[in-house]
Structure 1
Amino acid sequence: MTDDGAPPSPPPSPPVSSPLARRRRVVAAVVATLVVVAPVTWFWSTSLVPSTYSVLGMGYVDAGGGQVTGAHADRAEAGWGGPPARPGDVSVATLTGPADAEPDVAVTLEAAAERITLPDGTVVEGYTIGGTTPGPLIEATQGDLVEVTLRNASVPDGVTLHWHGVDVPNAEDGVAGVTQEAVPVGGEHVYRFVAQDAGTYWYHSHQVSHRQVRLGLLGPLVVHPRATAAGADEAIALLHTYAGTRTINGTAGQQRHVVAPGTAARIRVINTDNAALRVWVAGAGFALLAVDGRDLTGATPVRDVAVVIGAGGRADLEITAPADGSAAVVRLGGGADLVVGPAGSRGPSGAAARDPGTELDLLGYGTPAALGFDPQAADRTFELAIGRRFGFVAGRPGLHWTINGHLFPDLPMFVVAEGDVVRMTISNSSGQAHPMHLHGHHVVVLSRDGVAATGGPWWTDSLEVRDGEEFEVAFVADNPGVWMDHCHNLPHAQQGLVAHLAYTGVSEPFRVGGAGANRPE
């Protein structure tokens, strides 16, 4: 009752919605949903890859300002199967090493899945190659014809061998789905190539490489110069981490290379891990003789500096054992040391052996020398800008690596013609470092962050590009084929940080996926 005794008024009725108004609201909701869902669905669908495809069917062609001829001219209409071969094209499968000549070095390696005992006694599932991990050293002399027969005893995913840093003919490069079929259990594959360039290299599987390399399918390869100084002393220090334990040549703890006082030794350091390695020498100076299998001109002794070796990279250090009978200690990132000196000798420890902090800048190390070509007269110019953004890769949403703003598989196919002088700018704004590895070629560093190189020519096949850095490099396209150009932090490559370099007039018969289950990364 109200104050005047009248009954209270009923609450107002809600406005009656007309059928037209209700339809409008439904339509608006549907439209709003489509505005969100449709683009997401489109991005998701375009990120998917078929179960089998040609790498020539991936992404888009970047001709670097040059012409595109042969099969690549049909790329736009080709789809995932890749462009068909045109008359006159050469197949990757035919770009082999010498087929009939008697080899100078013949090696048979058997790959097997085995339980491996780690240095700390832990037993893990892993792989061996040639009965061990790391696999046996393969040695050749410059100009030798090398023949390696790979047999797969029990690696269920299949296996290949890639000759990291050796500029082999394309069909010998050992990349599943790009240059060959993965070798199945019970199968074998023969690699033949001429060891053209003396240097320090290594071999590893390029089938499911992010897993197979980590678990043991790798080994060292050294090509000696035709003329080696009599009595030259050297040692290999292949660094690999097994389940968190750093090892030198598969052995944990401090290792020793015995030399007499005052003797110079060439230490060939190979970084097979996924992260950069800092190497310094306590108790002696050193000269950096070579990087990635290429000698540096005018190498002079330095002291109290660290050399940074990117993933997959190599560095040859010349170290002279102290004349007083003590030892020099080569420190491989801490946790792995190589003592160089007489038996029983001791080197610096504690504070005296700490990382000096300062890095040797290869941009100005050594003395200038002729390159053999003019980088200023480039026929093609490319950009490889590494970034990271949200999107879909193979249907998976997340924060993914990009090249030139594109996500895998929509990545560039850099197209060149044989004989081209090529310049490439490689930049990184992704928040992490990326060791970029171009197969089949070495590039020379022209500048870093706009500062021109002033030292000896810095040739590399595994270039560590830190976040915020920009390198300009150049090379001559002198090795026809279809070549991977990828991050050698192998999980990054497996996540999609992979481009390719393809020559005009070269066709691709192999497929990723398919019956051979080729999975190069």
Structure 2
Amino acid sequence: MKAWRNRFKRTCSWLIILLACMLAISACGSISVKVPEEIDMGSTEEHSHLEHGSQSAADANAVSCADLTEPASTGPVRTFDLTAAAASLELNNGKERKAWTFNGTTPGPELRVREGDRVVVNLLNKDIEKGVTIHWHGVVLPCSQDGVPGVTQDAVWPGERFTYEFIARHPGTYWYHSHQQSSEQAEKGLIGRLIVEPKEETFHYDRDYAVTLQKLNDKDVLTNGLSGGLQLDAKPGETIRLRLINAYNLVQWMGIAGTDFQVISIDGQDLNEPDKLRGEWIPIGGGQRYDVLFTMPNQGQVQVYSKKVSGWKITLGEGQAPKKLDNDAPVFDFTDYGAPKADGISPDMKFDRTYDLVLGPVNINGKSGHHIPPIMVKEGEWIKVRFEHQLGSEHPMHLHGHLFKVLTKNGKPLTGSPIYADSILLFKGDVYEIAFQANNPGLWMEHCHNLGHAAAGMTMMVNYEGVKTPYRVGTKSGNIPD
């Protein structure tokens, strides 16, 4: 009996150690996978990407991602210059911080354009030794403009330049960040906002504010680059559109106190006939964007704030502060919010290919990084992906180059507004089905936007048949697109 008890204790000890390790990986994602010498992420192999410079199995007649560019257009052209550089910043609380910046600030400049504009961005890397790119998070654009080093371009090294060019086809709230070692570079400050205003008004508002929630160097809690929260002008009776961008890895539970509100957009895509809400927490995953609409009360303030991080607070108006939400207040649920709208995309439609992705703490289907087989698609096909979150902390799964529709949650079809998005936030136990049409040929990342998880290997590819890349990921090229 004594020997049995000792064995039991040893087994429990090992289980506790294993659980602690798993929780540590899940919480901070600080464990990274070994970067190979050279990988072809455009490989069509179903089992693994090709290593050590071996030839791709892609057809010799395949088109290169580098050649998939934006065709000529007649719309207005908006040109911006962004310089990536290391800087010493003085925060508004008087503290000095080292940061990596776009045009000397973090976040970088807010780029506001109009639906249909041709956006031209000239990037200069002044002195970021590890190289830099710009990924236009949530924007549907040509493969060559996606800003993924080793897949769509080489990293831009100190003294080098790269020009991005795409048409802003979808109005909404987006953001940009470096995708070269992004778990480090976004945290150090290489981020910014991209707002695409619609040609025609879908929701009326008097003021339009965009707010970035950021944790600089995983230390300083900043709201639009300011410590201690943000004060925005608003008068009684005015209707406010507030665009909330979570540029941090972890989910933020945002509350709105002092007024009713509507969630009018998720990941830049409008919702149909959104209902009025009051006193509900909104969970915004890493990389996600939620736009809310509310009318200022006749007296007092409106406060929008994080449940868990006191520094992320936006105060609008003057006067008495409102009563805050209870910690156990209801959580916003988009699965039955707003009004249905037929679009022909349903869980029981015919799909050309279906993929099951089981999410662990920092892996997909038990594999990590380039060992995860790509999702292979053919242009024109309809694809269904089933995500099942079995273990670990929250995973905001982000798809490049496409918008998808959320079909079901935990086996039940959505009953409210159609939800189109580029990310889906999964908590442990969640099962979601999403659908997208393969209508944008290229090589696209699908990864967790807790960027620590991505660096630890929670990243894979969606590869079109007949598309290849001249670029390589790995230590040889220096391209590391976590």
Smaller-chain TM-score bracket: 0.7 to 0.9
Identity among equivalent pairs (%): 36
Gaps in structure 1 of 5+ consecutive residues: 1-46, 63-74, 389-400
Cα distance in 2 for residues equivalent to 1:436 and 1:230:
31
Q: Does 1:518 align with 2:479?
A: yes
Q: Does 1:477 align with 2:452?
A: no
Distance 1:128 1:315, change over 3 A: same
Q: Does 1:121 align with 2:82?
A: no
Cα distance in 1 for residues equivalent to 2:235 and 2:388:
46
Once the two structures are overlaid, the 10-residue window that deviates more, 455-464 or 368-377, is: 368-377
Counterparts of 1:60-99 in structure 2, within 5 Å, are 61=46, 81-98=54-71
Deviation of 1:117 (Å): 3.0
Question: Is the Cα–Cα contact under 8 Å of residues 84 and 507 in structure 1 kept in the other structure?
Answer: no
Deviation of 1:231 (Å): 6.6
Q: Does 1:454 align with 2:428?
A: no
Question: Is the Cα–Cα contact under 8 Å of residues 205 and 239 in structure 2 kept in the other structure?
Answer: no
Deviation of 1:431 (Å): 2.1
Deviation of 1:437 (Å): 0.5
Per-residue deviation, residues 128-174 of structure 1 (Å, max 9, x unmatched): 10221100000111011000000001101110000001111111000
Match of 1:157 in 2: 130
Cα distance in 1 for residues equivalent to 2:255 and 2:344:
32
Deviation of 1:84 (Å): 4.9
Match of 1:443 in 2: 404
Question: Is the Cα–Cα contact under 8 Å of residues 346 and 407 in structure 2 kept in the other structure?
Answer: no
2:108 maps to a residue whose letter is: G
Question: Is the Cα–Cα contact under 8 Å of residues 56 and 82 in structure 1 kept in the other structure?
Answer: no
Question: Is the Cα–Cα contact under 8 Å of residues 162 and 206 in structure 1 kept in the other structure?
Answer: yes
Once the two structures are overlaid, the 10-residue window that deviates more, 203-212 or 405-414, is: 405-414
Match of 2:241 in 1: 266
Counterparts of 1:41-440 in structure 2, within 5 Å, are 50-57=36-43, 61=46, 81-98=54-71, 104-228=77-201, 232-242=206-216, 243-323=218-298, 325-333=299-307, 334-335=309-310, 336-341=312-317, 344-349=318-323, 352-355=324-327, 357-375=329-347, 376-388=349-361, 401-440=362-401
Match of 1:13 in 2: none
Distance 1:328 1:100, change over 3 A: closer
Cα distance in 1 for residues equivalent to 2:345 and 2:204:
34
Cα distance in 2 for residues equivalent to 1:425 and 1:102:
38
Distance 1:189 1:372, change over 3 A: farther
Per-residue deviation, residues 363-422 of structure 1 (Å, max 9, x unmatched): 00011112354551111100111125xxxxxxxxxxxx3211223432020000111111
Question: Is the Cα–Cα contact under 8 Å of residues 208 and 240 in structure 2 kept in the other structure?
Answer: yes
Cα distance in 2 for residues equivalent to 1:77 and 1:148:
33
1:316 maps to a residue whose letter is: D
Once the two structures are overlaid, the 10-residue window that deviates more, 447-456 or 93-102, is: 93-102
Cα distance in 1 for residues equivalent to 2:411 and 2:204:
43
1:117 maps to a residue whose letter is: E
Cα distance in 2 for residues equivalent to 1:213 and 1:152:
15
Question: Is the Cα–Cα contact under 8 Å of residues 338 and 416 in structure 2 kept in the other structure?
Answer: yes
Cα distance in 1 for residues equivalent to 2:117 and 2:431:
37
Cα distance in 2 for residues equivalent to 1:490 and 1:383:
22
Deviation of 1:332 (Å): 3.0
Deviation of 1:452 (Å): 1.6
Cα distance in 2 for residues equivalent to 1:135 and 1:413:
33
Question: Is the Cα–Cα contact under 8 Å of residues 57 and 78 in structure 1 kept in the other structure?
Answer: no
Cα distance in 2 for residues equivalent to 1:196 and 1:76:
32
Question: Is the Cα–Cα contact under 8 Å of residues 87 and 104 in structure 2 kept in the other structure?
Answer: no
Distance 1:191 1:76, change over 3 A: closer
Per-residue deviation, residues 233-292 of structure 1 (Å, max 9, x unmatched): 111111101243322101122322222211110000000000011111111110000000
Question: Is the Cα–Cα contact under 8 Å of residues 57 and 79 in structure 1 kept in the other structure?
Answer: no
Match of 1:502 in 2: 463
Deviation of 1:56 (Å): 3.2
Distance 1:102 1:367, change over 3 A: closer
Distance 1:104 1:180, change over 3 A: same
Once the two structures are overlaid, the 10-residue window that deviates more, 145-154 or 241-250, is: 241-250
Larger Rg computed on CA atoms: 1
Deviation of 1:354 (Å): 4.4
1:219 maps to a residue whose letter is: G
Deviation of 1:514 (Å): 5.2
Match of 2:12 in 1: none
Deviation of 1:98 (Å): 3.3
Distance 1:286 1:518, change over 3 A: same
Match of 1:7 in 2: none
Counterparts of 1:22-37 in structure 2, within 5 Å, are none
Per-residue deviation, residues 429-467 of structure 1 (Å, max 9, x unmatched): 122211101101121111111122101011121211111
Paired residue secondary structure (2:85): strand
Question: Is the Cα–Cα contact under 8 Å of residues 211 and 243 in structure 2 kept in the other structure?
Answer: yes
Distance 1:251 1:77, change over 3 A: closer
Question: Is the Cα–Cα contact under 8 Å of residues 176 and 518 in structure 1 kept in the other structure?
Answer: yes
Question: Is the Cα–Cα contact under 8 Å of residues 279 and 325 in structure 2 kept in the other structure?
Answer: no
Deviation of 1:513 (Å): 2.5
Question: Is the Cα–Cα contact under 8 Å of residues 306 and 358 in structure 1 kept in the other structure?
Answer: yes
1:371 maps to a residue whose letter is: D
Per-residue deviation, residues 207-241 of structure 1 (Å, max 9, x unmatched): 01000000100000100000237873111111101
Distance 1:257 1:431, change over 3 A: same
Question: Is the Cα–Cα contact under 8 Å of residues 353 and 384 in structure 2 kept in the other structure?
Answer: yes
